[in-house]
Chains A and B, each alone.
Chain A
């Protein structure tokens, strides 16, 4: 038993050393976790317009893109979370998911070193158009 625990301890230490988490991202994750467990339930369910919800979006942004872009994306999302967003579903968002507007962090424009343009030119729909023409 002690050996197993020792092996697990070594593995977890190596994984932590190999990929050290940014302390700001860890702090943000803890704060958001606290908000989700204790504050969010007090507000009643389904108050966010988006999927993932603003707090989940923020956690994902921090974990995917780090504290700088995570912060910018979080505050941008808070400013976009309003009923007017529903008017833009067909124009700029990727549809509706569980009665909320689908808006995952990966759909946002970021510098190319983080990821390339989200390429909202919907490849699938363009291919359908092409096939319509050729057949």
Chain B
């Protein structure tokens, strides 16, 4: 009733006001207005659908993914004509939450619709982040005519450069610091080698080669050899840590590269007012 009264009395409608808020970037208030209008109309009119889609979009832009997801889910059962748009909204709200399997399932419903390409992009990256390399390659293949799609496909096909902690530990066991050097930690490698060699060397000297074999020299020998042994053990522990750090860094770098490629796709969908 109030809506009709306002519509009749003023040329500016509440939806105009909501559009104004959205256009000026006040997504918080825009979301409230759109939501109110969307539920107030309570019919399956295109305008109500438009309001709900804009409400979801405003909430997504504010980072309120859970609420956006609720709105898209409500709209999905209500507006049959815009089903694919609500599905896409659900995909966009689920992806940052790490619900990659859900994204994959939802994106399958977008095949053959106008949002097929966007759905495929989300699906490909979701599978890549979920660790399903074969699935990701299959979907990235359909995007390979685009520059980021081709780059993502190449990245996914290249296995990550990992260092085996066992191999690195073996290297450092044989030659202190070798494992750290293999992981690119040259400073740690040099210090591990020199300090272990110095302590062990001093210990061996006092125990075996010293001219003066007094008890004081024996004690010195034992102390230095023990310290050498402890530095050697610490060096092996450090080598394993270096390998694990290296692997984590490589994974992080790969993830960042994938996200950067994803950002290069145009994933925005225009919501036109009916």
Q: Interface of A with B (CB < 8 Å)?
A: 71-85, 87-88, 91-92, 108-109, 117, 119-122, 126-127, 129-135
Contact = CB atoms under 8 A, between A and B. Distances in A.
A79 B248 contact: no
B187 A133 contact: no
Nearest to A79: B192
A87 B235 CA distance: 19
A108 B234 CA distance: 13
A82 B234 contact: no
Nearest to B177: A79
A131 B65 CA distance: 10
6 contacts: A71-B230, A73-B234, A77-B234, A121-B251, A126-B255, A134-B60
B230 A79 contact: no
Contacts of B204: none
Interface string B149-189: 00000000000000000000000000000000000011110
Nearest to B196: A79
Contacts of A117: 244, 248
Nearest to B249: A91
A108 B192 CA distance: 18
Nearest to A88: B185
Contacts, number: 101
Interface of B: 60-61, 63, 65, 92-93, 95-96, 185-188, 190-192, 195, 230-231, 233-235, 237-238, 240-241, 244-245, 248-249, 251-252, 255-256, 259, 262-263, 267
Contact of A72 (B93, B188, B233): B233
A121 B187 CA distance: 24
A80 B60 contact: no
B96 A121 contact: no
Nearest to B253: A91
Nearest to A49: B187
B60 A135 contact: yes
Contacts of B191: 79-82, 84
A129 B263 CA distance: 9
A133 B96 contact: yes
A130 B259 contact: yes
Nearest to B259: A129
A122 to B, nearest CB: 7
Contact of B185 (A73, A84, A119): A84
A76 B241 contact: yes
Given A92-B245, A132-B263, A135-B60, A75 B185 contact: no
A130 B97 CA distance: 9
Contact of A120 (B238, B240, B249): B249
B185 A120 contact: no
A80 to B, nearest CB: 5
B199 to A, nearest CB: 10
A103 B95 CA distance: 33
A19 B234 CA distance: 28
A109 B186 contact: no
Given A78-B231, A84-B186, A134-B96, A108 B241 contact: yes
A77 B186 CA distance: 15
Contacts of B248: 117, 119-121
A131 B63 contact: yes
A123 to B, nearest CB: 10
B233 A131 contact: no
Contacts of B256: 129
